[in-house]
């Protein structure tokens, strides 16, 4: 009798530990059930591939945002950054007629913009919140000025070939989904198997201790911002391919909100030190599913922002409860 | 009986923090609460102060059963808790901190600044210290912050004051002052629960004691019936084997040379040498620049002048990484703020410095596990699984993990800054043994410490600092408490002016 009780307790304990570590998996499963109930076509191939398609562009940015938040920072500039990189990327494409050159430009330029953020945060000793708020405004302003308010259109002769990058698929799996999964796998590897990953966690958990162990915390932070810039570059490239026309004032708008939301839903601690890239991956998909559910439930599209806001608050609330 | 806590049990998830513990305190009694870290003292006091409810058990005040305690209610009942960690808001002024949450108001609910400042000044006068109530808290040094924390409890009429290690940052004179206040409070009928690791203080000020160990009540009694040795045994639950420093007589060649090192106002013109296999203690009182010097030696604080050489090669002090490469490791003071990476496993915490020194990209998990097992055995770390969080360990074991972190990079010189801060007697002795072993292996060690018994136990030589300068160098034979205090207080400087 006695042993049975304690065994029961042990299982409960194990479950609780598992649950607190993988909360995002549980919320993901709950959401899938809800989605299936609301939308009977949810589990069809076309629906799932659209879902991945939509989740990818913001999701890739969110992967980088995970690193930044784990290291105890924040990046509000990613939306404007995506617009700036995408707009100029299209211009580069039109001038060089080379998709490869455009891709390289997007990766390099994104990395540089992220690097600038990191440099200002570490060497300028300004809070990340302020730095990226400023660059959010600055990056957007540059691209709006360059486009004179109008769109950057991919020239007609390249249009079809370029469009297929985001629209195409391999063995029926959308290209975008493949890119997203590969990016997630690489970032997961970086965060769990490399020393750099450990340093990111250490800096976010206790910056002082990290410094006194010999970790170059400035370098780690700059790397986090640069990696996010690089991923935003990928995202901007894919965004241009998907839209083939970048309207400077609108492109990438509120990407930072969605990226941070995905990180929060994915279970990363908002004050740093804890979190998983896989969580963010599922978080980005969940965010897209919620949008789908709202549409299927005929909730006016203007209210998605409200729902997202509530979800971010709830996700963070659950987290802080958990850590008590 | 003023306070009667009966059969208190508290569980956190599955962990039993307190198991059927009872505590009685009479009116006008100073009660010493003893126990190693993790024994359950803080949990018991938090329950008393209403921070969280007990799982089982009852609390009686003046024979009246208290239920649904909250911190607010505890305050109203006259229970004041002086926390070990400073709970002050740095950006506010002293008097604003004192009245935080209990501001005095006048007409229209506006703050009555004048009255608050006046009352604050009165309390400081009573405590015989000169702190300006209008000073910003961030401008105070640690010992003064601690005094403000204590003043907070004296400001209001209280019946029971809980003091959780109130003297860790205080100088001897300030401690004497505190004891005077405690005695006068006692005469007014106030009861005090006094938590401390310092035996002489406990025996000096307390009437009765209660010892906790592993969440259980071990014994209550009168201090007059026991001696320090007995108390220490009750604390650790076994007889303590005291190793004493063995004079080795054979220290090797000079490995570290520090020449005219200065750092702004913190310390000036520091010169000393360190030999192979030598344990050098650097001591002093609060505000002597010791902490800053420790940081500077490790490249963690920019210096304004002077140079250091290791093995006759000049050492650049602008990067911790380079200092580590030159063969220096440091266990910083204040474990919680400066050493522990709280969201990480024991194993990762232990591997951190090793990661830095060995420039490979990937983590080799099997190596990390080996490292964990090796150190666990070598320095007797009590821990469950290597994947457990570091915060699941007791203070002493956490500190051992941090020491292991640095042992792993096999430095030639170890800087230990207050290595036994806030850890229990048993773990302290084990850390001293680690120091002996390192010295025997030919490593050189600098121990920064303000605890005389500690210095006496480990040091071959001792530098005494006073106001940012080295005031005296004591050889092994000259290390006595009187000598150390004489130079630490700058008594030899009197009359020079």
Contact residues on chain B for A13, CB-CB shorter than 8 A: 13-14
Instruction: Print burial letters for B11-44: b (CB count within 10 Å at least 16), e (below 16).
Output: eeeeebbbbebebbbeeebbbbbbbbbbbbbbbb
Contact residues on chain B for A16, CB-CB shorter than 8 A: 13
Contact residues on chain B for A269, CB-CB shorter than 8 A: 343
Contact by Cβ (8 Å): B199, B233: no
Strands in B346-489 per DSSP E: 413-417, 444-448, 461-466, 469-475
Q: Contacts for A305-311 with beta carbons within 8 Å, 24 or more apart?
A: A305/A254, A308/A257, A308/A258, A308/A261, A311/A261, A311/A265, A311/A287
Contact by Cβ (8 Å): A74, A260: yes
Across the strands, what pairs with B259?
B307
Which of A196, A198, A209 has its CB closest to that of B338?
A209
Contact residues on chain B for A213, CB-CB shorter than 8 A: 352-353, 356, 405
Which of A9, A194, A274 has its CB closest to that of B363?
A194
CA distance A322 to chain B (A): 13
CA distance B324 to chain A (A): 7
Hey, are the CB atoms on A212 and B341 less than 8 Å from each other? no
Hey, are the CB atoms on A212 and B338 less than 8 Å from each other? yes
CA dist B293 and B155 (Å) reads 37
Tell me the C-alpha to C-alpha distance, in Å, between residue A129 and each of A69, A82, A133, B53: 11, 18, 6, 39
Q: Domain B3-236's class?
A: alpha beta
3-state class of B361 per DSSP?
A: coil
Contact residues on chain A for B319, CB-CB shorter than 8 A: 216
Contact by Cβ (8 Å): B320, B298: yes
Contact residues on chain A for B356, CB-CB shorter than 8 A: 213-215
Locate the chain B residue with the closest alpha carbon to A202: B341
Strand B444-448 to B413-417 pairing: parallel
Which of A194, A213, A269 has its CB closest to that of B356?
A213
Contact by Cβ (8 Å): A272, A72: yes
CA distance B267 to chain A (A): 20
Is A209 in CB contact (< 8 Å) with chain B? yes
Q: What angle do CA A245, A251, A256 make, to 5 degrees?
A: 150
CA distance B109 to chain A (A): 34
Hey, are the CB atoms on A209 and B348 less than 8 Å from each other? no
Contact residues on chain A for B343, CB-CB shorter than 8 A: 201, 204-205, 269, 273-274
Is A17 in CB contact (< 8 Å) with chain B? no
Helical (H) or strand (E) element with B194: strand B191-195
For the domain covering B254-493, report its CATH number. Answer: 3.40.50.300
Which of B13, B330, B355 has its CB closest to that of A198?
B355
Which of A204, A208, A273 has its CB closest to that of B337?
A208
Q: How far is CA B342 from the centre of its chain?
A: 18
Contact by Cβ (8 Å): A234, A106: yes
Hey, are the CB atoms on A16 and B13 less than 8 Å from each other? yes
Tell me the C-alpha to C-alpha distance, in Å, between residue B491 and each of B134, B189, B267: 32, 38, 19
Given this model, what pLDDT does residue A140 score? Answer: 94
Longest CA pairwise span in chain B (Å): 76
CA dist A68 and A158 (Å) reads 36
Hey, are the CB atoms on A206 and B341 less than 8 Å from each other? yes
Locate the chain A residue with the closest alpha carbon to B319: A214
Tell me the C-alpha to C-alpha distance, in Å, between residue A24 and each of A284, A286, A315, B322: 11, 10, 10, 41
Is A191 in CB contact (< 8 Å) with chain B? no
Which of A9, A201, A205 has its CB closest to that of B14?
A9
Hey, are the CB atoms on B332 and A198 less than 8 Å from each other? no
Is A6 in CB contact (< 8 Å) with chain B? no
Domains located in chain A, CATH noted: 47-322 (1.10.3470)
Hey, are the CB atoms on B298 and A212 less than 8 Å from each other? yes
How many interchain CB pairs under 8 A, A with B?
Answer: 73
Is A194 in CB contact (< 8 Å) with chain B? yes
CB neighbourhood size of B170 (10 A): 20
What does A204-258 look like in DSSP terms, one character per residue?
HH-HHHHHHTT--HHHHHHHHHHHHHHHHHHHHHHHHHHHSEEETTTTTTTHHHH
What is the side-by-side strand order in the sheet with B79-82? Answer: B64-66, B56-61, B3-12, B15-25, B216-222, B208-213, B30-34, B191-195, B160-164, B79-82
Q: Where are the domains of chain B?
A: 3-236, 254-493
Count the alpha carbons within 13 Å of B270 in the hemisphere toward its beta carbon.
34
Of residues B152, B179, B34, B130, the one with CA closest to residue B86: B152
Contact by Cβ (8 Å): A80, A137: yes
Residues in chain A predicted with pLDDT less than 70, given as ranges, are 1-7, 9-10, 13, 149, 320-324
Contact by Cβ (8 Å): B308, B316: no
Helical (H) or strand (E) element with A135: helix A128-147
Given this model, what pLDDT does residue A322 score? Answer: 57
Locate the chain B residue with the closest alpha carbon to A17: B13
Helical (H) or strand (E) element with A304: helix A304-322
Which of B340, B343, B356 has its CB closest to that of A215?
B356
Contact by Cβ (8 Å): A62, A288: no
Count the alpha carbons within 13 Å of B432 in the hemisphere toward its beta carbon.
23
CA dist A324 and A317 (Å) reads 11
Dihedral sign (CA B367, B373, B378, B381): positive
Residue B62 region by backbone torsions, left for phi larger than 0, else alpha for psi between -120 and 50, else beta = left
Residues in chain B predicted with pLDDT less than 50, given as ranges, are 495-497
Phi then psi for A52, rounded to 5 degrees? Answer: -65, -40
CA dist A1 and B111 (Å) reads 63
Hey, are the CB atoms on A194 and B361 less than 8 Å from each other? yes
Q: Residues in chain B whose beta carbon is closer than 8 A to a beta carbon of chain A?
A: 13-14, 298, 300, 319-321, 324, 330, 332, 337-344, 348, 352-353, 355-357, 360-363, 405
């Amino acid at each position: 009798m006695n042993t049975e009780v304690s065994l029961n307790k042990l299982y409960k304990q194990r479950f609780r530990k598992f649950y607190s570590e993988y909360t995002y998996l549980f919320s993901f499963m709950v959401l899938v059930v809800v989605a299936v109930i609301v939308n009977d076509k949810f589990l069809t191939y076309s629906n799932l591939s659209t879902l991945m398609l939509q989740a990818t562009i913001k999701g890739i940015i969110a992967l980088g945002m995970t690193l930044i938040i784990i290291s105890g920072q924040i990046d509000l500039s990613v939306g404007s950054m995506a617009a700036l990189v995408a707009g100029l990327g299209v211009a580069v494409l039109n001038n060089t007629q080379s998709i490869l050159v455009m891709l390289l430009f997007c990766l390099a330029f994104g990395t540089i913009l992220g690097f600038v953020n990191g440099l200002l945060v570490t060497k300028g000793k300004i809070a990340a919140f302020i730095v990226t708020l400023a660059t959010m405004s600055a990056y957007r302003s540059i691209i709006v000025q360059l486009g004179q308010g109008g769109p950057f259109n991919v020239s007609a002769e390249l249009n079809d070939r370029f469009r297929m990058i985001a629209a195409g698929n391999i063995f029926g799996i959308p290209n975008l989904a493949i890119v997203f999964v590969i990016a997630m796998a690489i970032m997961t590897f970086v965060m769990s198997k490399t020393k750099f990953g450990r340093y990111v966690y250490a800096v976010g958990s206790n910056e002082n201790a990290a410094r006194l162990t010999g970790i170059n915390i400035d370098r780690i932070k700059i790397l986090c911002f640069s990696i996010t810039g690089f991923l935003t570059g990928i995202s901007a490239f894919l965004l241009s391919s998907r839209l083939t026309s970048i309207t400077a004032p609108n492109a990438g708008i509120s990407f930072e909100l969605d990226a941070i939301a995905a990180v929060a839903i994915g279970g990363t601690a908002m004050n740093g030190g804890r979190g998983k890239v896989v969580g963010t991956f599922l978080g980005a998909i969940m965010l897209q599913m919620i949008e789908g559910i709202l549409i299927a439930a005929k909730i006016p599209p203007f209210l998605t922002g409200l729902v997202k806001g509530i979800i971010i608050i709830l996700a963070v609330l659950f987290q802080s409860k958990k850590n008590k | 009986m003023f306070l009667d806590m009966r059969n208190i049990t508290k569980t956190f998830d599955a962990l039993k923090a307190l198991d059927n513990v009872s505590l009685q305190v009479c009116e006008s009694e100073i009660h010493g609460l003893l126990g190693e870290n993790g024994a359950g003292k803080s949990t018991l006091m938090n329950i008393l102060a209403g921070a969280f409810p007990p799982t089982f058990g009852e609390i009686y005040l003046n024979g009246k059963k208290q239920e649904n305690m909250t911190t607010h209610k505890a305050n109203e009942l006259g229970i004041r808790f002086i926390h070990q960690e400073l709970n002050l808001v740095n950006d506010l002024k002293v008097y604003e901190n004192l009245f935080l949450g209990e501001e005095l108001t006048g007409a229209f609910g506006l703050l009555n600044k004048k009255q608050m400042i006046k009352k604050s000044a009165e309390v400081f006068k009573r405590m015989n210290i000169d702190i300006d109530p209008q000073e910003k808290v961030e401008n105070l040094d640690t010992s003064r912050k601690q005094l403000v924390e204590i003043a907070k409890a004296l400001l209001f009429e209280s019946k029971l004051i809980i003091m959780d290690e109130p003297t860790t940052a205080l100088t001897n004179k300030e401690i004497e002052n505190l004891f005077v206040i405690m005695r006068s409070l006692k005469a007014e009928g106030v009861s005090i629960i006094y938590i401390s690791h310092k035996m002489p203080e406990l025996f000096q000020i307390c009437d009765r004691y209660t010892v906790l160990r592993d969440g259980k009540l071990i014994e209550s009694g009168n201090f007059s019936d026991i001696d320090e040795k007995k108390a220490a045994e009750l604390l650790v639950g076994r007889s303590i084997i005291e190793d004493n420093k063995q004079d080795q007589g054979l220290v090797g060649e000079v490995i570290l040379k520090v020449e005219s090192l200065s750092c702004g106002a913190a310390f000036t013109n520091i010169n000393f040498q360190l030999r192979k296999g030598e344990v050098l203690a650097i001591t002093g009182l609060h505000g002597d620049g010791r902490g800053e010097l420790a940081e500077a030696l490790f490249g963690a604080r920019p210096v304004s002048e002077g140079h250091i050489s290791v093995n006759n090669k000049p050492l650049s002090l602008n990067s911790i990484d380079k200092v580590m490469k030159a063969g220096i490791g440091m266990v910083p003071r204040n474990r919680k703020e400066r050493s522990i990476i709280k969201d990480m496993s024991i194993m990762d915490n232990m591997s951190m410095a090793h990661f830095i020194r060995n420039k490979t990209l990937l983590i080799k998990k099997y190596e990390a596990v080996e490292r964990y097992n090796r150190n666990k055995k070598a320095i007797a770390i009590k821990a469950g699984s290597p994947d457990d969080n570091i915060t699941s360990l007791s203070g002493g074991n956490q500190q051992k993990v941090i020491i292991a972190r640095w042992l792993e990079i096999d430095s030639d010189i170890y800087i230990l800054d207050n290595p036994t801060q806030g850890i229990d007697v048993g773990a302290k002795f084990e850390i001293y043994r680690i120091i002996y072993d390192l010295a025997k292996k030919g490593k050189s060690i600098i121990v920064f410490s303000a605890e005389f018994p500690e210095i006496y136990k480990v040091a071959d030589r001792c530098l005494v600092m006073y106001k940012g300068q080295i005031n005296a160098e004591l050889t092994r034979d000259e290390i006595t408490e009187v000598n150390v205090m004489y130079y630490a207080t700058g008594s030899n400087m009197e009359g020079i002016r």
